[in-house]
Amino acid sequence: MVISSFIASMRLQQWIKNLFLFATLVFSGNLFFAHNVVLVVEGFFLFSLVSSGVYLFNDISDLENDKLHPIKSQRPLPSGKLRVGPALAGSILLAATGLLGGYLIRPQFSLVLIFYLLINVLYSLKLKEIVILDVMTISAGFVLRVVAGAVLINVPTSEWLIICTLLLSLFLGFSKRRNELTVLESEAGTHRSVLAQYSPYFLDQMIGIVTASTVMSYALYTISDETVRKFGTNRLFYTVPFVLYGIFRYLYLVHKKEAGGNPTRLALTDAPLLINISLWILTATIIIYGR
């Protein structure tokens, strides 16, 4: 019972976020170098252990507030299925294992893991209460995943990739905050104090800005001289419609279906979104490596 509750608190389904480690592998042209693939796969699992440690620590920090949430109250910690002591010990063990493994693979990778761990601890303790900065901190975690992938295979981190990742994660983060406001309504501030400082209109303004910026940044990346020179083609531009549809589909789910509270679940369960992401990955891979 305790073991199953502990595993549930690790949020294995959230490990999909760590696939961002593979972004640099794909867009640097190293996808078919077996040694690099093995390094990133190992890094993926180690980063996932650290992130699960973070989730456990965050659940401990949010324990009282999660008890008031209609969905999060069913998690092992707020429901009482898992006690704080074992959860904290497990959190430390997972983080330590990930850091040690990361150091053995590549010391620079462990530095990225340490930075990721620190900003998330700060988020759990304080940053989650500061409007706008709360979402930007979450976005920083996605950027660090991209940086981690670059460090693992020892290639420069693409500025375009960082910009696109930052904007996309801000889009997802602000959409999640909007969903929380919609679902919790008048009790939003009770569950998460920072929600009292947001409003649907304010969030829609920021979502509009990052939506346009995300699409434009990706479109400019596909036709930039650097990209054309690296891949020997300008055909990556043909993947822009997939990005547009993915953004529009997600906005539809947020505004018409009151979804968006769990981006990972949407990416795995919404068939049109899942198909679109798969087609984007397939098309981009063919264009980049088809030569």
% the chain with pLDDT above 90: 64
Say which amino acid occupies 83.
R
Tell me if 284 sits within 8 A of 25, measured CB to CB: no
Give the Cα separation of 142 and 171 in Å (integer): 12
For residue 187, give the 3-state DSSP assignment.
helix
% the chain with pLDDT above 70: 97
Q: Closest Cα to residue 91, out of 119, 121, 52, 123?
A: 52
With tokens 């919404």, the residue in question is 270
pLDDT at residue 160, rounded to an integer: 92
Superfamily of domain 1-154: UbiA prenyltransferase (1.10.357.140)
Tell me if 90 sits within 8 A of 5, measured CB to CB: no
> Rounded to two decimals, what is the model's pTM?
0.91
Range list of β-strands (E), 125-165: none
- Residue pLDDT, tens place only, 7-66: 888 989 999 999 999 999 999 889 889 999 999 999 999 999 999 999 999 989 888 777
Please report, for the chain, the start and end positions of each structural domain, with discontinuous segments joined by +.
Answer: 1-154, 158-291
pLDDT at residue 52, rounded to an integer: 95
- Residue pLDDT, tens place only, 233-283: 989 999 999 999 999 999 999 888 777 777 888 888 899 999 999 999 999
For residues 202-218, average pLDDT: 95
Cβ count within 10 A of residue 126: 12
pLDDT at residue 190, rounded to an integer: 63
- Residue pLDDT, tens place only, 149-196: 999 999 998 899 999 999 999 999 999 999 888 877 666 666 678 888
Say which amino acid occupies 33.
F
- Residue pLDDT, tens place only, 5-17: 888 889 899 999 9
Give the Cα separation of 95 and 51 in Å (integer): 8
